[in-house]
Amino acid sequence: MWARIEEHLDEYPARKRVVRLFLRYGLKVTEDARIKCGDIEVSYTKISKALGIDRRVVKETATMILKIPELREIFTRLEPTPHLKYAGRHLGYGVIEIEAEPRAVGMLAKVASKIAERGRKLYKFHCVSLCVGVCHGEATHAEAGC
């Protein structure tokens, strides 16, 4: 997926940084090119300061996303997801972090089987986030809280 997104941003390194931030935090682009984290609007200025870029780059990125159907389909549907890696145990969850080979197939199925073998029921699992393979342009990991 990232390779397809990146094709549209190769000439715009600052916009690429904006898009990575949108993906990392689940920031959605609305139909009027505003940026939202769930129902909370995030200003172009706040995003630009976080990235050390001009706020116009953030607005131009949002406008560009809306003009490209493939990007529009992705970025108008993003939702924020909490990362419970450090806070999970304080909420009563166990946290499992799985570092997988990006091209490995069936890694989560194998982990789920091992958990089930030990008597844990999968319906008790609270999925925190999942990113196996290439996400944000780099190999990352999968996480699940239980």
- pLDDT tens digits, residue range 62-102? 999 999 999 999 999 999 988 888 888 888 877 777 776 76
What pLDDT is attached to residue 138?
39
Model pTM score: 0.72
What pLDDT is attached to residue 120?
59
What pLDDT is attached to residue 126?
46
Distance CA 140, CA 133 (A): 6
Q: What is the mean pLDDT of each run of 10 residues along the chain (146 residues)?
A: 87 96 97 98 98 98 97 96 85 76 77 76 46 39 38
Percent with pLDDT over 90 in the chain = 49
What pLDDT is attached to residue 146?
35
SS (H, E, C) the chain: CHHHHHHCCCCCHHHHHHHHHHHHHCCEECCCCCEEECCEEECHHHHHHHHCCCHHHHHHHHHHHHHCHHHHHHHCCCCCCCCCCCCHHHHCCCEEEECCCCCCCCHHHHHHHHHHHCCCCHHHCEEEECCCCEECCEECCEEEEC
What pLDDT is attached to residue 144?
40
Q: Are the C-beta atoms of 104 and 125 separated by less than 8 Å?
A: no
Residue 4's Cα: distance from chain center in Å? Answer: 15
What pLDDT is attached to residue 131?
45
What pLDDT is attached to residue 95?
77
Q: Are the C-beta atoms of 31 and 37 separated by less than 8 Å?
A: no
Distance CA 1, CA 11 (A): 18
